[in-house]
Chain A
Amino acid sequence: MFTDPTFLFIQTLNGLQLAMLLFLLSVGLSVIFGLMNFINLAHGTLYMLGAYFGLWVYVNTGSFWVALALAPIGVMVVGMVFYVTLIKRLRTAPPLKQVLVTFGLIFVGLDAVRMSWGNLSKSIPTPDVFSQSVTIFGEIYPSYRLFIIGLGVAVFVILYFVLERTRIGSVIRAGVDDRDMVSCLGINVDLAFFGVFCIGCYLAGLSGAVAGAVFPVEPGMDMSILILTLIVVVVGGLGSLKGAVVGSLMIGMAETFGQVFLPQFASVTIYALMVVVLLVRPGGLFPTRAA
């Protein structure tokens, strides 16, 4: 069955779907790091919050679409609160402090979720529009997964347009390249960072809400996705949209096909991929600055 083109195609779609979720997560993490040298280990926690907020809105309104619209905004507000209270004062701190404070936040987030929603695994039902499966090459494939792929592509197109074609985009790219210089030009880099941070949180929340209809919504879902996201960022190179896309695709595919072809070594394949990439290019594939 491994050479069956239909099977391979379906697995490719699965890989794409995972890659798109990883892209939504890693692009925020990567650009936040590129702009401010800030590493946020609690990024996975934002993803988990997105899923739980989505679940909560869904339970109260009964509408998946309202949940999908509101949950990321809720996560963004949480992100803003953390930015003002904690992250702002950590921006110039050494990486050790940033890592440890955001590591502490992971525990706080985990127990906050357990306190509010309990330990049991839950899920958000897929909306009626996607209740039908589509048939691709005679194989049945859930249409919701195609929606995730489409959403990821749409977000990529929007981000690409904003970053490459607008004035805000050029401020952000310039800030990644040389923050001090941009600030000398009279541009408020702090404000730009705050904006990027909010968007990063929004996208983390969005991917959580979207993933809540595919993967179980449970405490600990943050941990498993965080490591994958960090690997994407390391492989793709810090601070670049292109790196986040290529890194997500590589890791998404390696994880999916690794599970299928080498179940014994399932997760090891992605680490092996990371090691190979870093041996060839220590700064990742598309770094915005030298490592």
Chain B
Amino acid sequence: MKNYFTLERVTALVIVVSCLGFVDFAGYYGQELIAEIAILAIFAMSLDLLVGYTGLVSLGHAAFLGIGAYATGILTVHMGWNVASSMAAGVIMAGLIAAIIGAFVVRLGGIFFIMITLALSQMFYAYFLKNREFGGDDGMPGIPRLDLEMFGLDASDPAIFAVFTVIVAALVFVLLDLIMNSPFGRYLLAIHQNENRMRSLGAPIGLYKLAIFIVAGMVAGLAGSMQAQHMGFVSPDAMFWTVSGIVLIMVIVGGTGTLVGAVVGAAVVRMMSHELSSLTEYWMMYMGLFFIGIVLFAGDGIYGTLAKYWHRARDPKAPQDLAK
């Protein structure tokens, strides 16, 4: 019998419901924080498709975030498009660029993949940093938010926008959950676990990896478009390589290989940096130490570890890799 109420889905539902409940009585900063976390959660989930499910460790994922953000910014501010079509264009643009980049990076493995994704994302950073037309290092202000008039809502209200981002994040979760539980998703997991066996079974490994690279790029592009709308602004900093590093940390902190893990990681890291930066000027040092500690000592991440204990408590005899 198929179990539709997996721990992961139930956890996701609880997170979404509690976020929506919290929006109502969170103040302005709380609502802004929720929107920010929801957007980061989308971004982190997209990276987890590569890192956790497929075993492709990208250190250049921020490029797609930036492409989605710049596409939305350029199309709305310079070309006068409406926001909805600029969002779609941002997603498609990120997908196209992911297809081009992916076509020659998915063959590579391990450290080469890491370094080349890093260098290529810096190429986009360098381009937008120098391009005066799109604001150069000052960035591009004045990006509008999606028009929610047809629902009778005003997206410039932080509460409404927070709810909107949470709903989009929830939809992304459902979509990616469907993809990863489809035969295609199973293929990717199998490639991650034993690439040589899959190759000898005749699976077109490169094609599958390219496909998920494109999906991950498109979802990151969506996150970028949302981020541009949230801040009303985009600058090259959105695609600086440390952004890729931090989202990678989020995935690790939450636990790789589960979509909810990425969401938990995004929330924990964002809230931590928010709290720490209000306490000390040197908060980055403590974040760095926290990252090192998590990577060295908590291999399964927060959600991964909790899920492991949960499954163990429910059925002590079951094999212990159920967390994934």
- Give residues in A with beta carbon < 8 Å to B: 33, 37, 39, 86, 89, 94-97, 99-101, 103-108, 110-112, 114-115, 223, 227, 230-231, 233-234, 238, 263-268, 271-272, 274-275, 278-279, 282-283, 291
Contacts and interface: CB of A to CB of B under 8 A. Distances in A.
B126 A230 contact: no
A279 B288 contact: no
Contacts of A96: 51, 57, 114, 248, 252
Nearest to A41: B245
Q: Which of B104, B119, B296 is the most central at the interface, judged by chain A CB atoms within 10 Å of its CB?
A: B119
7 contacts: A86-B292, A99-B245, A108-B285, A108-B288, A230-B115, A234-B115, A282-B107
B59 A99 contact: yes
A39 B288 contact: no
A107 B120 contact: no
Contacts of A234: 112, 115-116, 119
A33 B110 CA distance: 12
Interface string B97-109: 0000000100110
Interface string B283-317: 11101111110011000000000000000000000
A267 B112 CA distance: 21
Contacts of A271: 119-120, 122-123, 126
Interface residues of B, number: 41
A37 B115 CA distance: 13
Interface string B191-218: 0000000000000000000000000000
Nearest to B248: A100
B288 A107 contact: yes
Given A283-B112, A291-B112, 12 more contacts: A33-B111, A97-B296, A100-B291, A104-B249, A104-B289, A105-B288, A108-B292, A111-B285, A112-B285, A230-B119, A268-B127, A282-B107
Contacts of A112: 285
Interface of B: 51, 57, 59, 104, 107-108, 110-112, 114-116, 118-120, 122-123, 126-127, 129-131, 241-242, 245, 248-249, 252, 281-285, 287-292, 295-296
Nearest to A230: B115
A95 B111 contact: yes
A277 to B, nearest CB: 11
Q: What are the 9 closest A-B residue pairs judged by CB atoms, nearest first?
A: A107-B288, A111-B285, A267-B126, A271-B123, A104-B291, A104-B292, A108-B288, A104-B288, A111-B282
B288 A111 contact: yes
Given A100-B291, A108-B289, A274-B119, A39 B111 contact: yes
A291 B295 CA distance: 26
B70 to A, nearest CB: 15
A114 B282 CA distance: 8
Contacts of A227: 118-119, 122, 241
A39 B112 CA distance: 10
Nearest to B252: A100
